[in-house]
Amino acid sequence: MLRHNAGSDEIVRMDLPSPLFLSMRPHWFYRWQDGTVDTWLPFSSEDSHRLEEAHQACEQGGGVTVATEGARYDVRLPERTRSAVFWEQAPAEVRRCTWFYKGDKESHYTPYPEDFSHRLEEAYLMAVTRNKWREKLVFPSGDTFTLHSLKLITQDQWPNCPLEKIKPRTVKRGLEEIMVNIPEGEPDAVDHLVFMVHGIGSTCDMSFRPLVQCVNGIRSTSLDLLSTHFSASQEERSVGRVEFLPVNWHDALHSEATGVDQDIRRISLPSLARLRDFATDTVLDLFYYNSPTYCQNIVDSVVSEINRVHALFLHRHPGFAGAVSLAGHSLGSLILFDLLTNQKPAPGPEAAGSEEGEAVSNGVSLDFKSLEEGLEGVGLQKYMDLFEQEQLDMDSLALCSENDLKDLGIPLGPRKKILSFVKRRRDSEEVGAGLPLLAPSLQASSCTEGCKYLDIRTGQVKVRYPQLSFQPQALFALGSPIGMFLTVRGLKRLDPNYSLPTCKSFYNIYHPFDPVAYRIEPMMGAPDSEVEAVLIPHHKGRKRMHLELKEGLTRMSSDVMGSLRTAWQSFSQLPIPVLPLVAGGTSTTMDTSDSEQARAEDGQWQPGQTNLWISPLEWPKAVQLNYFSGEQDAFLIRPSPLSSPVIGRPAVMSPGEKVEEQNVQMGMLNGGRRIDYVLQETPFESFNEYLFALQSHLCYWDSEDTVLLMLKEIYGRLGIQPQTALATDSKTG
């Protein structure tokens, strides 16, 4: 393009951008700090597009805050920060990225700051327009670049670099050059909400990841499984996603407000400092939960955090109409179980009747302000003068025994009325505090004579259980010690009619090598009957290969032993040759019938008890008759109960024999369905179960099989089933 300069005859040439220069769409990144390592991670395509639109509007005076990553993080554009919404987390830096660099020993590209990228883009545009390459660009900050060509750009020097010769940095323009994996994003519709409660300690897995990162891993696994196992439902838009949110109670317990860590350190020995700090942070959480003071702190923290996050979630998702479930790992599952045991059902016709029964017991109102009003209610106001003389009030009367009332001269009838009245009053106060009165569904082994049932909190500390703001659909216990704690609290068995007051589904999921996990179903069945736990299918649609091989070898050995046993029985049952009849019609062989004699004379070999060494020459004939006569029914291998690898199924079945699945009823704790579900161990874990014991207790955060079971339960309630035909990998371990 030519332009005439006014006032002179000089013609100035204006260079236009070269057609080789292509415009570039920026992408948004955020800084992720893992200890001392900083990594820049990209937002999803949808979030980046939303941030770019907000950025353009912000320059024109638009909005400044954008919700990203399923509305779990807010990005404030003026400050360029990314902040968590539902949990405490330090803000992370955000950048609008166009240019990236990577050192010789680095594995990830790092974006340049926005102002630096802008100046670098201008220099690149000038080089492309003028077609001038291999020139050094020196910035005021000391950074030196060399533009070799359109695709080759290096940074030769940068501030704070060592004086000795170092390899230049590789510089790239745009995402297409750095080959970064951009996530597609999450569905906006949330079908279900799951609160995840951790166990002991501040870290959750073998990588020492905190709770937030572990829950992020479960959420990512859930999205992957939805895309593979529920793809048809996603295409029909009948399936959105399941939101998993963490519930942290460890930080509140070990905060400066409680001062428990400082108190423990003050009395700790100076030796083994690291080991003692680790025990204080992890193992002592079990003792804190059995302490009245700190158990109340833990329960209050869990309930307040769940209710707070639930209310905030509903505020950020006003269209949410799904249900809510709870999931707990290790001690977290016990906390949730105790909490749900002490919940009250929602107000209704039945609940209203129960509340009225609490206020009025046996026709006597329990809502009174003084002891005099209470005695008038039971018709014993004439003893009020005696109680005033002895200076007895309601609290002191509750401490009196029957012998104390007898010493006061109160007759047997009024004495029994007073004791019953005091007991009902005390029980109503406990119910008002959130404690159950009597759990007729839980039978204890340590009951005295005449006492059949004990309270569910037998052995528990007496705390006031707060109420949740919702009724959960299911409780998922991962690696849970609930069965052990109920047993040591004195509970021998769970009545089949027992269920959690506000939660009708309960799943006990465990790894077979988990040393902390215990079963629940044996506490609900008959003592002399044992049912194996349900084997959780592999997420690829079948058993793991090593389990199939193990089961096949077990059956093969059973078949071989059965064949040898049958052959030995055939050899040991060789018939005795029958001699001709003697005079008198008797045979030389005792206890032989006429029919047997006739068949023997015709050459028919019949089984009979005999000595194997009487006629060895007849063995080939007997073997030929038995094994080549075509009569196979007599030699079918009968299953042995000790050799059967599958409970309820024989090792080898007779022709026409059908296998019937066990119809096991496990009471109402899970609505009549099975409760215990066991994962399949990996091939490496099967070599040594002791070596992988700790890893087995922490494996649930990365287990696709566990997450898939939860998804099946969640969407099964919505009438949505996963795809049954899934491609399996022959190399699955």
User: Which of the residues are catalytic?
Assistant: 330
Gap between the Cα atoms of 507 and 520, Å rounded: 9
Of 673, 668, 660, the residue nearest 713 (C-alpha): 673
Of 543, 376, 571, 339, the residue nearest 460 (C-alpha): 339
Structural contact between residues 604 and 570, judged by C-beta atoms closer than 8 angstroms: no
Helix, strand, coil tally for the chain in percent (to 5): 35, 15, 50
Query: CA-CA-CA-CA torsion for 396, 398, 404, 410, nearest 10 degrees?
Result: 100
Of 424, 374, 397, the residue nearest 405 (C-alpha): 397
Strands 475-478 and 323-329: parallel
- Give the distance, in angstroms, between the CA of residue 708 and the centroid of all CA atoms in the same chain: 10
Instruction: Using the CB atoms, write b or e for 492-512: b if 16+ within 10 Å.
Output: ebbbeebbbebbbbbbbbbbe
Supply the DSSP string of 510-568, one letter for each residue: E-TT-SS---SGGGTS-TT---PPEEPPPTTSS--HHHHHHHHHHHHHHHHHHHHHHHH
- Give the burial class of 109: count Cβ atoms within 10 A of its Cβ; 0-12 exposed, 13-18 middle, 19 or more buried: buried
Residue with tokens 């309630």: 717
Gap between the Cα atoms of 532 and 554, Å rounded: 18
654-662 long-range contacts (CB < 8 A, ≥24 apart) are 662/531
Residue with tokens 């959130």: 434
Helix axes 412-432, 349-359, angle to 10 degrees: 130
- Give the burial class of 651: count Cβ atoms within 10 A of its Cβ; 0-12 exposed, 13-18 middle, 19 or more buried: buried
